[in-house]
Amino acid sequence: MGKLIRFGVSMDNDLVGRFDRLIEEEGYINRSEAIRDLIRERLVEEEWKEEDEVCAGVLLVYDHHKHHLTEKITEIQHHFYKLVISTQHIHMDHDNCMEIISVRGKAREIHKFFNKLRATTGVKQCDIIKATVGDKIK
Ligand code: NI
């Protein structure tokens, strides 16, 4: 970690009160850690707007009985094989499968991959958690 810097922030009393109540509910023990997390979240958002290398978890829920759906999902992952780090497949019940796909690469490519999966007919849910590779965020 780099040198720690203290800084003062002027803010409306009601706004600080609302923020303090919120972070207490979320389990923060102090304001500093909550503010650090807000800043980190904002910086991750910026990484996703730029041409940086980023990573993500893509979650899919689908019925594997649907016509050729499993094959289509596998085909998309093979098409984007340079992004895909790992795939975890969970048989949720007799019909439903969940896949958690870890990816790493350019944000633009990950968006293309995600959109392709989401637009596949028969996919019940497709979600993404955008993450940082961590090298720029302390
Ligand atoms: Ni399955």
pLDDT by residue (tens digit) across 97-132?
999 999 999 999 999 999 999 999 999 999 999 999
CA of 55 to the centre of ligand 1 (A): 24
pTM (2 decimals)?
0.84
Residue 1 in this model has a pLDDT that exceeds 80:
no
CA of 20 to the centre of ligand 1 (A): 44
**Which domain, by its residues, includes 89?**
53-132
Least confidently predicted of 1-10, 11-20, 27-36, 89-98: 1-10
CA of 117 to the centre of ligand 1 (A): 16
- pLDDT score for 51: 80
Residues 6 or more apart in contact with residue 98 via CB below 8 angstroms: 59, 60, 61, 89, 90, 92
> Are 96 and 126 in the same domain?
yes
CA of 93 to the centre of ligand 1 (A): 8
CA of 107 to the centre of ligand 1 (A): 28
Q: Are strands 84-91 and 96-106 parallel, antiparallel or unpaired?
A: antiparallel
Neighbours of 97 (CB within 10 A): 19
Taking the C-alpha atoms of residue 77 and residue 71, their distance in angstroms, rounded to an integer, is: 10
Domain contains 4: no
> Are 36 and 101 in the same domain?
no
